[in-house]
Structure 1
């Protein structure tokens, strides 16, 4: 394990992904979310393929035990990405980031529902606190004022929340897939399926990008590939419980980019709600680590004969 290098890779991944989101947001008034997903996925492929080839894992990336598992995971993950990109059109970058912090909260819920994982009182309470934080973030966008609910903002909030739900479902699906699939194949086949699935949205209309938008979207795709490599490398070099909390550094990056490039000032409720969700998320991460250690000790305590 190389903890310092793992943390640096994770921070690099977070910075790259937030920058990618900002690039997508800058084109969102003209480029549909489905089209943005295509650029993000297709232009990430050369980076991912080159990385797998450099690590001599290209054959591993192609190999799969179940194409259909990748297909279903691709549908869920692509939906999460598309909804997240769509939310960027209607909400400030820090708010989309804050609502996205709900993903680990929903993972605990779905793991209990679909993987039969036990959720005891401690984690249940953390989930409840995290959901309260999400509502604090979303409340100003869903509150009724003199002119009623601001439709665009409410739509953006619901898109971001649904994206977090789909992202959590995708992560739960990946947990099942890791029993038979390698990390290389999961990363590679998701880029393939997301690229192909995004083409379906041509039916609802794509826009011809301007030369500047072409440059921005291609750069976003390349950054997506780089971010995926940095993220994967961070988890190779450090325990998940060590690097996962650094996801929350994305709030710092998104506030900075939002302020300097989009003139966005986060609402106090956004920062307060994000703080609540972050606290709940870190508690869940630490608890997951403790449970993981307990499971490992349990396995070591059992002899090969099961006695």
Structure 2
């Protein structure tokens, strides 16, 4: 089932890139990110409230809070830089370079989470890296 969610995530990320490129055309990229974040805020809180998941709110351990806050900060910074890159560059070049995050994730998950890396993962990471490097140059 996780594969379907991952594919849906990739599809909506692609829509995000295209919609964002159009959306940042006539507005500051930071303001565009703030608007996008507000929409996400309402959608996710709506899902949490309608799904009756807010009762779990009180039971979140402090360590979890720390990492969720750090994750949120990293996400916000990623979006700010991504929207600025979209404003300045072609979406067809920015989006593939942004996917270097996959390579960074593989490296960080190996170092900090001790997740295994096999030949298939290494080859995939190298291909993503090569593709991103190609996109850096016209």
**TM-score between the two structures when normalised by the length of structure 2:** 0.75
Q: Cα gap change, 1:28/1:46 in structure 2, threshold over 3 Å: closer, same or farther?
A: closer
1:176-215 paired onto structure 2 within 5 Å: none
CA RMSD between the two structures: 2.8
Q: Cα gap change, 1:13/1:62 in structure 2, threshold over 3 Å: closer, same or farther?
A: farther
Per-residue displacement from partner, 1:100-137 (whole Å, max 9, x unpaired)?
A: 33222221111222223343455334323331221112
**TM-score between the two structures when normalised by the length of structure 1:** 0.38
Name stretches of at least 5 consecutive residues in structure 1 with no aligned partner. Answer: 141-307
Alignment-derived partner of residue 28 in structure 1? 24
Structure 1 position 105 matched with structure 2 position 94: no
Q: Which structure has more RCO (C-alpha within 8 Å, separation ≥ 6)?
A: 1
Q: 1:65 aligned to 61, 68, 74, which one?
A: 61
Name stretches of at least 5 consecutive residues in structure 2 with no aligned partner. Answer: none
Residue correspondences, number: 136
- Take 1:111 and 1:13, find their aligned partners in 2: how far apart are those partners? 20
Per-residue displacement from partner, 1:169-191 (whole Å, max 9, x unpaired)?
A: xxxxxxxxxxxxxxxxxxxxxxx
Structure 1 position 88 matched with structure 2 position 86: yes
Q: Cα gap change, 1:15/1:111 in structure 2, threshold over 3 Å: closer, same or farther?
A: closer
Q: Cα gap change, 1:126/1:47 in structure 2, threshold over 3 Å: closer, same or farther?
A: closer
> Structure 1 residue 16: deviation in Å?
4.0
- Take 1:27 and 1:62, find their aligned partners in 2: how far apart are those partners? 37
Runs of 4+ off more than 6 Å: none
Structure 1 position 117 matched with structure 2 position 115: yes
Q: Is the 8 A contact 2:96 2:131 kept in 1?
A: no
- Secondary structure of the residue aligned to 1:71 is helix
Q: 1:46 aligned to 24, 42, 45, which one?
A: 42
Q: Is the 8 A contact 2:97 2:135 kept in 1?
A: yes
